[in-house]
């Protein structure tokens, strides 16, 4: 029925958004990045408190 077409398009759009966001979230959390510190940064992070 032509009157129901907007609901179908809305459901398709919602389905597409759900798949799109799910794909992006899974892609974002699937990588484990190693943070590389420079020597200067290590010296700043490793404080030796003398008190």
Q: Where are the domains of the chain?
A: 18-51
Radius of gyration of the chain (CA): 25
pLDDT tens string 27-37: 988 877 777 76
Q: Find the helix or strand (DSSP H, E) in which 7 lies.
A: helix 5-29
Distance CA 29, CA 23 (A): 10
Q: Which residues of the chain have pLDDT under 50?
A: none
Distance CA 49, CA 46 (A): 9
| pLDDT at res. 37 | 63
Counting every residue, how long is the chain?
A: 51
């Amino acid at each position: 029925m032509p009157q129901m077409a907007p609901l179908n398009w809305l459901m398709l759009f919602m389905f597409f958004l759900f798949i799109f966001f799910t794909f992006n979230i899974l892609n974002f959390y699937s990588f484990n990045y190693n943070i590389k510190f420079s020597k200067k940064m290590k010296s700043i992070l490793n404080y030796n408190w003398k008190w």
